[in-house]
Structure 1
């Protein structure tokens, strides 16, 4: 379970990076959104089967997905300063997610 909850956010961040910065197309944006929904659903389903402390992991995953979508919006508008702040926040949220994964699971 730990490995799955570590690799799925990494895969989502990788797809998001490609979708936002490298390959701006409708297909990649749809793939990013589908991966975000999949990540939220998997986090919700796994938080039902483990102790109540796993809801913190679910909340952090929702914040990660929301932050990436806000970053995509800001990047399309050309806000470089906002994008750099959001990228730092995304990294910080991912580190919190990794720490929570090791604590909860």
Structure 2
């Protein structure tokens, strides 16, 4: 079985595509968003709806950038915590 590093290098680990929120409110919320978009599609003209979609695309792009920064920060923080734990491990055991 390949290691995590090998899989990451090969491009087989795609966290952004694999994450599905476990919050039970997530799928109903997505349904509400879809229904609202369909309502706006019916209310607006074609050009206005395209403008709304363009705005939402910009928002999604900004959100993706924030999520990437949050992931990177969280990963670095977790690695720093592990480094601190490993460096200080001798403090956890008394020498006899």
TM > 0.5 fold call: no
Question: Normalized against structure 2, the TM-score is what?
Answer: 0.38
The structure number with the bigger radius of gyration is 2
User: With structure 1 as the length reference, what TM-score do the two structures score?
Assistant: 0.35
